[in-house]
């Protein structure tokens, strides 16, 4: 898998162990986090993790790895293309 600069990128994988330990590879950055929500940028788009008592137990942005502990309720990719479409839709609706 190549990134936009032609550099070999680490594959993007998600491993969830018992809903309480989440290991993600292929991240590009951590956008935000608190006890209930962690948002990470990945090679496949922005990933929103929701849960309870979430904490980042390890982070290695150079290698693209993050370990999150806590009770995981959901993981959803936010599509950049979809968010642009939604903004355009609502913008035209409220003109």
User: Residue 86 CA to chain centroid, in angstroms?
Assistant: 20
Whether residue 81 lies inside any domain: the answer is yes
**Token pair for 46:** 């922005």
CA-wise closest residue to 30 among 51, 49, 3: 49
**What CATH number has the domain bearing residue 71?**
2.60.40.2000
Strand, helix or coil for residue 3: coil
Kindly report which listed range (38-42, 49-53, 62-66, 87-91) carries the lowest average pLDDT score. Answer: 87-91
pLDDT in tens, 59-76: 998 899 999 999 999 999
User: Are the CB atoms for 19 and 75 separated by under 8 Å?
Assistant: no
Write down the pTM of the prediction: 0.74
Total domains in the fold of the chain:
1
36/73 Cα distance (integer angstroms): 9
Domain that residue 24 falls in: 13-93
pLDDT in tens, 5-40: 444 567 899 999 999 999 999 999 999 999 999 999
């Amino acid at each position: 898998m190549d990134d936009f600069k032609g550099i070999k990128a680490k594959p993007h994988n998600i491993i969830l162990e018992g809903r309480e330990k989440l290991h993600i590879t292929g991240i590009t950055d951590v956008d935000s986090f608190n006890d209930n929500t962690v948002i990470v940028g990945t090679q496949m788009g922005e990933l929103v993790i929701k849960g309870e008592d979430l904490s980042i137990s390890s982070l290695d942005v150079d290698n693209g790895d993050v370990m999150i502990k806590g009770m995981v309720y959901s993981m959803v990719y936010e599509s950049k293309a979809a968010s642009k479409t939604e903004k355009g839709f609502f913008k035209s609706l409220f003109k």
